[in-house]
Amino acid sequence: MEFSGDFETHLTLDATAPGRVAEASEWAREHGLKFTHIELDRGESPSQPMVTYHSDGSTLARELAVAERWAALLAGAGFAVTRTKLEVSRRAAGVPWDREEAELLPESCYFETHVKLLLPASADLAALSAIVEPHRARLSRNARRVRDDGFQERFVTQRCSRVGHREAARFEHALLKALERAGVTFEDKEGWQPRVLSVEREFVVHDTALSVDAGWMDAAPVRDADEVQPSVYAPDGYRQRPPGTYVPNTDGPEASQGKVFDPALKHLDDAYRAGEPVFTDPGLGSRWWEANRRAMELALRAISGTPWRDGLMLRGSMLMPVWVGDAARRPRDLDFVVVPAETAPFGDPADRMFADVVGAVTDASAQGISFDAEGVRLESIWTYERAPGRRVVVPWRAGGLPPGTVQIDVVFNESLPEPPVAVSVAGSDVLAAGAELSLAWKVLWLYTDTYPQGKDLYDAVLLAESARPSRELLVGVLRPELGDRAETVDERFLREEGSLDSDEWDDFVSDCPWVEGDAGEWVDRFEAAMAPVFRGE
């Protein structure tokens, strides 16, 4: 199978003596390569100096040739390459989706998850090793970095082979649960408690010398399906709490505000967000919605004025009027994708970005709108799923009106098959997902989400009736989730799977009462508009 996408290549060097390690580090610096000296806590080769480089939008065959050229240069400098290891993101083309696809690959292909931990100087490393090892994982012997306050960054590395993306995710979840039980927190807060800074799962597509890790860890093949965790689960007590961002602050004597299921929060048992408010006085409702629009536009202008504007790509409902005009539903959130996709969702620079974004929004005020900095709430979204992220809910007030909120969703690790486009949204110049990519993503969510949403069907129909992505783009977006099925699915998939629940459509219409027609009629329109795209016309 051919792999394509963004590659990371590691070349392990025969330079284990202390003096040679320093020389290899200097050579790498002079040639623009990253140098790392990995030290394992056991094994036949505990000292592993290596150089690393990245390539975007490439293929395995091309990268193997590049690796050979670097190996020749290194050998000429006296640093023989003992191992060549190439990795791609878990969403790259060719990465197996299930065990059936994985079993067609050599055992040297495997998933590798890196959990970066922040540990106090007093951390019991032996105890931590004993906790992670039953989960096909090892703790690094050397600290990646020691901070001025004594805290140290260390990696836990987990491997599994002969499994697909779904099974690998479950092994990862079990490891994270074990860490949580051991007192490692997933919350971004200061203090003595050890915490997770980032989680990254990659797929190794080529490894010439897995034996270098002998005595430390192999590819951890899963021989029996019974070894796979039966379900996805979150840290103890985590699921039982309500979402921190459930803020139905418009609810009161003048308006009712129910709760609506939100799959982005399905890692929680009470996976709800505040629904659209329904006002007893239509005139008051009109004034409130106008104020809500101003609040969202004010927040977007504030965000676009931060240094992070070039690292945040807008998509979703706030962008829809640009592509489909007045037929777009009322925007209810600001939905961003972080670029580049490799940015970690925890630690630096993500923490600085959120602090700056929240600060910019809460400091903004105009047209009678003010934001409540004390009422800001944060929550993780899509935890252990798809592209992880965070949700920020910022309450707003406008004199004489019930309060409201601006919801800001930011997701990480979302691969972009095409670059963002520059657009103007409500007076703000932003980077945004193009209409074709927006449609491809809507189709992806309709086809692969456990709980497809009515709003995505509505948006997909409007986009499909006004934009036409190439079949290549659509299949490329579907492939990381559907695997080889991406080549054979067509516009009838949603109807045949029967995954769009009628109750979900009813919930959507209750939020958007002007929408006419039942779910079946909108599926008809979807199929009519998407058929030419799937046929490549």
Is the pLDDT at 214 greater than 50? The verdict is yes
Are 145 and 347 in contact by the 8 Å Cβ rule? The answer is no
Cis peptide before 235 (omega within 30 of 0): no
Q: 421-440: b or e for each residue (b if 16 or more CB lie within 10 Å)?
A: eebebbebebbbbbbbbbbb
The residue behind tokens 């590691």 is 10
- What is the pLDDT at residue 346? 66
> How many Cβ atoms from other residues are within 10 Å of residue 66's Cβ?
15
Q: Fill in the DSSP letter of residue 40.
A: -
Mean pLDDT of the 285-299 span: 96
- Are 15 and 21 in contact by the 8 Å Cβ rule? The answer is yes
Residue ranges of alpha helices (H) inside 159-217 are 165-181
**pLDDT attached to residue 162:** 92
Segment 59-65 shows an average pLDDT of 94
pLDDT-derived band at 241, boundaries 50, 70, 90: low
Share of the chain above pLDDT 70, in %: 94
Query: Does the structure show a pLDDT above 50 at 339?
Result: yes
Q: Measuring CA to CA, which residue among 454, 197, 157, 145 is closest to residue 343?
A: 197
User: What single DSSP character describes residue 533?
Assistant: H
pLDDT digits (tens, 9 = 90+) for 91-134: 788 899 888 889 999 888 999 999 989 898 888 888 899 999 99
SS3 content of the chain, % helix, strand, coil (to 5): 35, 25, 40
CA 153 to chain centre: 22
Q: How far apart are CA 362 and CA 394, in angstroms?
A: 8
- State the CB neighbour count (10 A cutoff) for residue 14: 16
- The model's pLDDT over 508-519, given as tens digits with 9 standing for 90+, comes to 888 788 889 988
Q: What is the pLDDT of residues 390-402, one digit of tens each?
A: 899 999 999 889 9
pLDDT for res 357: 96
Query: Which one of 376-385, 497-506, 525-534 scores highest in mean pLDDT?
Result: 525-534
Please give the pLDDT value at position 336. Answer: 97
Predicted local distance difference test score (pLDDT) of residue 232: 41
Nearest alpha carbon to residue 308 among 434, 408, 188: 408
Backbone angles phi, psi at 136, to 5 degrees: 60, 40
Q: Are strands 333-338 and 365-366 parallel, antiparallel or unpaired?
A: unpaired
Give Rg (Cα) of the chain.
25
Q: Can you tell me the distance from the alpha carbon of 279 to that of 255, in angstroms, rounded to the nearest whole number?
A: 4
Query: How many angstroms separate the most distant Cα atoms in the chain?
Result: 80
Task: DSSP letter for 93, please.
Answer: B
pLDDT of 240 reads 53
249 vs 334 pLDDT, higher one: 334
pLDDT at residue 236, as a whole number: 46
- Given a cut of 70, whether residue 274 has pLDDT beyond it is yes
The 10s digit of each residue's pLDDT in 246-262 is: 898 898 899 999 887 78
The H or E element containing residue 422 is strand 421-425
Q: Is the pTM of this model over 0.75?
A: no
Segment of 174-188, 259-273, 466-480 carrying the highest mean pLDDT: 466-480
Whether pLDDT at 237 is above 50 = no
Whether residue 286 is predicted with pLDDT greater than 60 in this model: the reply is: yes
Residue 503 has pLDDT above 80, yes or no: no
CB 102 within 8 A of CB 161: yes
Is the alpha carbon torsion for 177, 178, 183, 185 positive or negative?
negative
The set of residues, in sequence order, having a beta carbon less than 8 Å from that of 534 and lying 6+ positions away, is: 471, 474, 489, 490, 491
Number of H helices, E strands in the chain: 14, 22
Average pLDDT over residues 432-455: 90
How far apart are alpha carbons 140 and 235 in whole angstroms? 23
Contact 49, 10 (CB under 8 A): no
* pLDDT digit string, tens, across residues 162-183: 998 878 888 888 888 888 878 7
